[in-house]
Structure formats: structure tokens, C-alpha cells
Amino acid sequence: MDGLYLPLFAFVLFHCSLYLFDTIFKSCLFLPYLHLLKNTGLQIQPFRLIWFTTAFNRLIQKWGSVRPRLLTAWFTVGTWTAMALLPYAVWLLLHSVFHMMKQAIRDDSMPSSDSVILQPVVPGVNLPVTDLGYYMITLLFSTIIHELGHAIAAVREDAHIAGAGTMLVFAVPVAYVCIEQLESLPPIKQLRILCAGIWHNIVLILAAWLALFLLPWVVYPLYDYGTGVQVQYLDKGSPVTGPSELLLGDRIIQLNRCKVSNVDDWLNCLVKSFREPSPGFCISAEFIKEHDESIPAKHMSSGAVECCASNNPRHLCFEYLESESEPLELPQHSCLNVRTVVEAAQQLCHKPASAALGEGGANSECGFNYHCFRPSLENNTKLVLLKRENGREVLFLGHPSDIYNTVHVTDFISLYTIFPSIFPEMFAQLCRFLIMFSAGFAVINVIPCFAFDGQNITRALMDLLLSKTVSHSSVRHAIALCITMAGTFLVGLYLALAVWIML
């Protein structure tokens, strides 16, 4: 939330300053300013900046007149697609409301990862402020594609386009198109126009997904993909920075025993490192006898065992995980240098010998003459090994969330220093935001709700479906109004619950 205040204050200051200057210039009848507003189509309202123009009308008319049969078929498919989306969107809204009610009762602000729900996106709350640029660009582009669908379909169905424009509502940029005499058209033509925006958002989702899917192959000569993750940047003060620690451009290929091929693997491995105990190390009895610097062990209140002196900051107390039924001449706890253990370990191990014994009582994970030793740590403290393609492993002792919060990685591994990985990563992020916002627009606009396309879609749908059974249009419109009021109530309840949970 802290990162939200600065951009929030900037937008408040921007709108207040604009409205103040607009009020002063209009009250003084400053003619150059009034002419500027008239000629540019600008309107300044409290926390709203509106631009309206007729400059694109001829271009829209031209686009709507190309291949009329193909366009009619295109928007007919869009109408059927939107109608198929309608029941799913209503179910998703009901499911989201029910899910959020359970969250509110449990006082839980984190949604379940295995549940698909509608989730409002608020910069600084559940979206990093650093992604504000992606947020505004993709939001504006999604609405432009949406409104362009309405405009071209309106031309195709002989509706009049009064003009188009954009609007900045506080910090939310949206596009809009003004269509006149829409209600005078037959219901099927109304549906083609009203569903065209939703259809174009669905097409935009498919296009963005295809671009995201093909991106690794397009950039392959310059970037590698699927062979690890590359450190894109590190936050200042990150606990994994230092002369022998992570560096910018490092390729991470493994986290403990978890293979890392992409960012999803990276996140899953971090979660796994948090949920599971720190790994053990397969080391020989000779190594223990040579390097053990333990003192009498002390059991800490946290459950950990301390067997190292305070002057050994690079040492940890390692616990012997062999079966007690097979006693060997090895101490239960040994104080060892962590780096030395990592470099000398044959492999990592997790299970004690009581779970699986090999020949001669040796741990089957480690093999003959090697024994499993695991660091004795507090519950939330983990030893994490980050294996790089070049350079020795990075050792991290602490909470894995510190790695997640301070190390930023990318799927695209730069093969040449003059081509940084930020370029394909930015394009991929734009595609992800386009998919997210276009999907949101398609779902929310098909739901019967005031101020959205669903309001007019419901009305036209009732006219089309009930024209033979309900002769009076006023009755059909009353039915549509009741459905829209119910949908609006659900959307309002969903937004209220979302705000309650986020706050």
C-alpha cells in the first residue's frame, strides 16, 4: 500500500489543478481558452478529462464498408460467441461473490490459488506500482479495440456514428464511441453492434496469447528460452547480493533439488523450499571427523539445536539423519562450514535412513559410506541453494520470501550483452496484461448491468426472444430491467466485498 500513495497523490493533484484552471479561465471568459476547448473537443470535469472528435468518422465508415458479407458473418459469429459467454460470465460472477463472502467471513485477504474468480486489479494493492505503465497502456488499448468493434458493426448495420473519443476517469483511461438511433434498429442488428465489442476483446485475447506463445521462437537468435531463468535486476539490499553471490545476468538452473526451466518453475521451487524442510547433504564419515568443530549441543526454544561457537558465523549445526537402530561412530550433531559441506556433498538428501536403508545401514539416498546431515534451523529459516550455470552455488539462509521479493528474474536469457532481456520481457508483460484486461472487459460487459453493454444486450435479447409471446414492448423492457437490476446488484455486491477484503 505504501507505493500507492505517491501516484494517487499525483493524479489527485493533476485533476484538481486542471479543474481549477478550467474554472478560472471559463469564469473570466478567456476566449483563446474557450476556442481551444471547442476546436480540440476537450472537456474538463471533476476527476474526468474527456476528448471527443469526429475526425475518425470517415475512416470508420471506410472500414465498415469493406467486404460487407464477410463483416456481417464476422459480427454474427461474435454475437453467438457473446451469447455463449453470457451464462459462463453470470456463473463466474456468482461464484466470485460466494467465494469472496467466504473470504470476508474468514477474514482472509488471499484468494485460493485453485479457484477461478473475478479479481479487481488495483495498482499498489494487488498490482505493483511499477506495472502502472502496463496497466494504463493495455487498459486504453483494450477499450479502443472494444469500441472499434462497436463502431465498425454500427456502420455495417446502418447506424449513425456521431463521433469517438477517450476519457481519463481519475487514473483509468478508456475509449468510447457515440452511436445514435441504436434502439430504432431491429433486435438482431442491435445485438450484432452491442456484442461486437465483446467479440473484439475475445479476438484480442487470442491474438495476445498467440503472440506470447510464438515469442520464444521469434526472439530465439538473440535470446534463449526454457533453459533456466536470468536475473534481470536485484533490489538494493537484497540478501543474496555480494561478491560471491547472485549477479545481474546470472542464469539460475536449479533451486535445491528443484529444476528451474522458466519463471513458473522458479516460483514453484521457491514455494517448495518454504513448505519443505531444508535439504540434507550426503557426506562421508571421514569428512565429518576432519571438519567437525562442534561444542556441547544446546536445544533452543525454537526447536533448533545449536552446536557451533559464536565466532563461527559461516558454520551451522548439522543433524545426523541416519537410523538410530544402526549406530555408527558419528556424532548426532556436527558444526560444519556450510560452503565446505556444499562443495564436498555427493548429493542432496531428504529422507532419514529409517525410511530407506541400503547395504550396511547406509542411507539409500546417499549410497554406501555416505551419510545424510541436515542443518538444524528454526521453522521459518531455510537453507536455499541457487545453482547457476556459471559460478559456484549461491547459499541463502533465511526466509525464501526474501528471495522472491528482491530477486527479479525473466524467462528470456540474453545471449548477447547488447540485447538486454528487458525488451522481450516487456512485450510478454504487455501480452499478459492484454489477456487479463480483455478477458475482464468481455466478462463484465456481457453481464446484465447498468452502464455496461449488458444492459442493452439484455433489452435487445428480450425483444428478440419474447416478441412472439409478449406482445407489448413495455413488458419486455420491464423484464429486461428486472434482470439488469439483479445483475447490477450482484456486481455491486462483488465490488463491495472486493473493497472490504482489500482494505
Whether residue 226 lies inside any domain: the answer is no
* Other CB atoms within 10 A of residue 237 CB: 7
Cα angle for residues 479, 480, 485 (degrees, 5° grid): 100
Is residue 347 located within the same domain as residue 436? no
Please compute the mean of the pLDDT values over residues 141-166 and round it to a whole number: 94
pLDDT, mean over the chain: 87
**Which has the minimum average pLDDT: 5-14, 44-53, 254-263, 330-339?**
5-14
Determine whether 31 is exposed, middle or buried from the number of CB atoms within 10 Å of its CB (0-12, 13-18, 19+): exposed
Q: Tens digit of pLDDT for each residue in 8-36?
A: 788 889 999 999 999 999 888 788 899 99
Q: What is the per-residue pLDDT for 123?
A: 66
Q: State whether 166 and 289 are in the same domain.
A: no
Q: Are residues 203 and 345 in the same domain?
A: no
**How far is residue 318 from each of residues 291, 364, 372, measured CA to CA in Å?**
12, 19, 9
Q: How confident is the model at residue 255 (pLDDT cuts 50, 70, 90)?
A: very high
pLDDT at 359: 44
**Does 323 have pLDDT greater than 90?**
no
Beta strand 315-320 with 333-337 is antiparallel
Torsion angle, alpha carbons of 127, 131, 135, 137, to 10: 180
Q: 279 pLDDT band (50/70/90 cuts)?
A: confident
My answer on whether 409 and 440 are in the same domain is no
Pick the range with the lowest mean pLDDT from 247-256, 346-355, 454-463. 346-355
Residue 377, domain member (yes or no): yes
Question: What pLDDT shows up at residue 113?
Answer: 45
Sequence letter at residue 5: Y
Mean pLDDT for the stretch of residues 479-494: 96
Q: What is the pLDDT of residue 5?
A: 67
Same domain, 411 and 482: no
Residue whose C-alpha is closest to residue 189's, from 160, 146, 153: 153
> Quick one: pLDDT band at residue 357, thresholds 50, 70, 90?
very low
Is 34 in the same domain as 143?
no
Predicted confidence band of residue 362 (pLDDT cuts 50, 70, 90): very low
Most confident region among 97-101, 276-280, 427-431 by mean pLDDT? 427-431
The pLDDT value recorded for residue 11 is 84
pLDDT at 122: 67
Are 201 and 142 spatial neighbours (Cβ–Cβ below 8 Å)? yes
Please report the pLDDT score of residue 358 as a whole number: 46
Q: Which comes out higher in pLDDT, residue 379 or 466?
A: 466
Domain count across the chain: 3
Rounded-to-integer distance, Cα 386 and Cα 234, Å: 15
pLDDT band at 62 (very low <50, low <70, confident <90, very high): very high
d(CA 373, CA 317): 9
Stated pTM of the model: 0.83
Q: Which domain holds residue 329?
A: 231-353+363-424
When pLDDT is averaged across residues 254-258 and rounded to a whole number, the result is: 90
Rounded to 5 degrees, what angle do the CA atoms 5, 143, 201 make?
120
Q: Which of 104-108, 150-154, 157-161, 332-336 has the lowest mean pLDDT?
A: 104-108
List Cα–Cα distances, 284 to 239, 305, 375, in angstroms: 31, 21, 16
Distances from the Cα of 322 to the Cα of 125, 289, 325, 347, angstroms:
47, 16, 9, 15
Residues 286 and 404 in one domain: yes
The DSSP result for 316-377, as a single string, is EEEEE-S-TTS--SS-SEEEEEHHHHHHH-SSEE-S-TTT-B-GGG-BTTT-TTEEEEEE--
The SS3 call for residue 60 is helix
Is residue 355 very low, low, confident or very high in pLDDT (cuts 50, 70, 90)? Answer: very low
User: Rounded CA gap, 400 and 402, in Å?
Assistant: 5
C-beta of residue 460 within 8 angstroms of C-beta of residue 467? no
Q: Indicate the Cα dihedral angle 312, 316, 322, 323, nearest 10°.
A: 100
Q: How far apart are CA 332 and CA 352, in angstroms?
A: 13
Same-domain check for residues 337 and 453: no
In a domain, 70, yes or no: yes
Q: What pLDDT does residue 19 have?
A: 93
Report the percent of the chain where pLDDT is more than 90.
Answer: 53
Tally of residues, the chain: 503
| Backbone φ and ψ of 68, nearest 5° | -60, -40
Terminal CA-CA length for the chain: 10
Q: What integer pLDDT is reported at residue 354 of this predicted model?
A: 45
Single residue among 374, 394, 424 that ends a domain in this structure: 424
> Rounded to whole angstroms, how far apart are CA atoms 91 and 116?
11
Least confident interval from 67-76, 195-204, 377-386, 422-431 = 377-386
Residues 74 and 186 in one domain: yes
400 vs 255: CA distance, rounded Å: 11
* Torsion angles phi and psi, residue 38, rounded to 5: -70, -45
CA distance 51 to 7: 23
Using an 8 Å Cβ cutoff, are 205 and 443 in contact?
no
- Give the DSSP H or E segment for 387: strand 382-388
User: Is pLDDT at 496 greater than 70 in this prediction?
Assistant: yes
Q: Is residue 358 part of a domain?
A: no
If we measure between CA atoms, which residue out of 410, 440, 437 comes closest to residue 426?
410
Q: Is residue 221 part of a domain?
A: no
Local confidence band at 356 (pLDDT 50, 70, 90 cut-offs): very low
Return the beta strands (E) in 439-490 as ranges.
none
| 289 and 183 fall within a common domain | no
Identify whether residues 202 and 70 lie together within a single domain: yes
8-state DSSP, 246: B
- The mean pLDDT of 60-77, rounded to a whole number, is 94
Determine which helix (DSSP H) or strand (DSSP E) holds 20, and give its type and residue range.
Answer: helix 5-27
Contact 233, 369 (CB under 8 A): no
Unique residue bearing C-alpha cell 465508415: 61
Does a structural domain hold residue 222? no
Per residue in 169-204, pLDDT (tens digit) is 888 888 999 998 898 999 999 999 999 999 999 999
What is the C-alpha to C-alpha distance for residues 140 and 126, in angstroms, rounded to an integer?
Answer: 20
pLDDT in tens, 82-140: 999 999 999 999 999 998 888 777 755 445 444 567 777 766 666 777 788 898 899 99
106 in Cβ contact with 497 (< 8 Å): no
The answer to whether residue 1 sits within a structural domain is yes
Q: Which of 3-12, 49-58, 330-339, 358-367 holds the top average pLDDT?
A: 49-58
Q: Is residue 449 part of a domain?
A: yes
Co-location of 157 and 200 in the same domain: yes
**Dihedral over Cα of 372, 375, 380, 382: its sign:** negative
Contact 228, 238 (CB under 8 A): no
